[in-house]
Amino acid sequence: MEVVRLKIAEEHVEMLRKDSLAALTGGTGRANEETLAALERSLATIVACAEPCGGYRYVKVTEVSRSEVTTVLGPVESTRLSLIARRSSGDKQLVFTLSTAGEAVDDAIAGDIPLLDKFVLDTVASELAEIVAGLVEERWLEEVGAAGREASARMSPGYCDWLIRGQTVVFRALDAAALGVRLTDSFLMIPSKSVSSAAVVADEVPLKVQCLACGRKDCQFRRAATDDAWSAELAG
């Protein structure tokens, strides 16, 4: 496993401020003075206590069926990731990743603070977890690009059609303890502000985002509009 330890730089704080404000205001960026003050307090708390880190590992794909992608460490049961892998060519791997904002962030949220601060801090921490996952992704994407290979977007257990029990194969692939992350019996991660995922890596990955092949209209996690040609492939 490759480990990535991160420091929160000024550019990350700025990104965190912008993303958190968008999340708190439904994208309008308009918040009252009280909320803006709570946001600044939350950012200061996060900078003081977060220990962002992550890890990733490439694992060989041994078989791809319509319903799952099998690796030497076990399957990812997802028709969507399976379609991405089936349409990819060359040596196929999955890259498993795990990243976290750190346990002290959970402690800060659980602390004795006003309700508004708790709510805002929870939002800021969730946004930080996504930023950390993105920074870890940047690291392995650089390697993939340097090797002249391609990758799909990452998918997380519990999202799209990959059931939460899929955490099992991610935690088998990675040394979660080295990152300070553990899994409960119900597959939830502790610290809670952690992100796990898998993505396809191959010589060519023509379908990079599974949503292109999906006609579901009511999905809150959609990342791209449906493309009719790809959608027909998933249905066929």
Contacts of ligand SF4 in 155-174 (CB under 6 A): 160
Q: What are the φ and ψ backbone dihedral angles of 86, each rounded to 5 degrees? A: -65, -35
Nearer to ligand SF4, 149 or 223 (CB): 223
Using CB under 6 A as the binding rule, whether residue 199 contacts ligand SF4 is answered as: no
Q: Which is nearer to ligand SF4, 6 or 198 (CB)?
A: 198
With contacts defined by CB under 6 A, name the span among 15-23, 37-45, 50-58, 207-215 that binds ligand SF4.
207-215
Reading the block at residue 54, the tokens are 């992550």
From the list 29-37, 107-115, 137-145, 208-216, the region that binds ligand SF4 by CB under 6 A is 208-216
Distance of closest approach, residue 223 Cβ to ligand SF4, in angstroms: 6
Q: Does 154 bind ligand SF4 (CB under 6 A)?
A: no
- Cα 34–chain centre separation: 31
CA–CA separation, 63 and 7 (whole Å): 38
- Binding track over 73-92 against ligand SF4, x by CB under 6 A: -------x------------
Residue 234 within binding range of ligand SF4, rule CB under 6 A: no
CB distance 75 to 54 below 8 Å = no
Quick one: which segment of 24-32, 67-75, 128-136, 211-219 binds ligand SF4 (CB under 6 A)? 211-219
Note whether 6 and 52 are within 8 A (CB): yes
**Residue keyed to tokens 């690291």:** 139
DSSP structural state of residue 7: -
User: Is residue 197 within 8 Å of 170, Cβ to Cβ?
Assistant: yes
Q: Which of 44, 63, 163, 221 binds ligand SF4 (CB under 6 A)?
A: 221
Q: Do 151 and 201 form a contact (C-beta atoms < 8 A)? A: yes
User: In 3D, which of 91, 44, 41, 43 has the Cα closest to residue 64?
Assistant: 91
44 counts as binding ligand SF4 under rule CB under 6 A:
no
Q: Which residues here bind ligand SF4, judged by CB under 6 A?
A: 80, 160, 210-211, 214, 216, 219, 221-222
